[in-house]
Amino acid sequence: MEKTQDYALDVPTYQNIECAPSILPQKKYCDITGLDAKYTDPKTGLRYHNAELYQFIRTLGVPNVQAYLGSRNAAVVLK
């Protein structure tokens, strides 16, 4: 466990620093590989990195798609 030193309340530390929310857009990651997601499949809503992964997504069944969406808390009912 790290040693914590007692600092004055007006000294900024990682535990007490406050800031405004980020103005940068939230990063989107590929649901399959975890790489940066450049694209989103319009039918399933899965994010993917390249065309090869798009072909893989097209072969997935509904339960598998739901599992990938559930991993990022994006549960969507597919038609």
Residue 37 has which token pair? 């997601």
- For residue 53, is it within any domain? yes
- For residue 71, is it within any domain? yes
- Spatial separation of the C-alpha atoms in residues 27 and 50, rounded to whole Å: 16
pLDDT the model gives residue 11:
75
- For residue 47, is it within any domain? yes
Q: What is the pLDDT of residues 41-51, one digit of tens each?
A: 999 999 999 99
pLDDT the model gives residue 61:
93
pLDDT surpasses 90 at 73: no
Query: Collapsing DSSP states into helix, strand and coil, what is residue 77?
Result: coil
Domain region containing 32: 24-79
Query: Collapsing DSSP states into helix, strand and coil, what is residue 62?
Result: helix
Q: What is the pLDDT of residues 3-52, one digit of tens each?
A: 666 777 677 777 666 778 889 999 999 999 999 999 999 999 999 999 99
- For residue 49, is it within any domain? yes
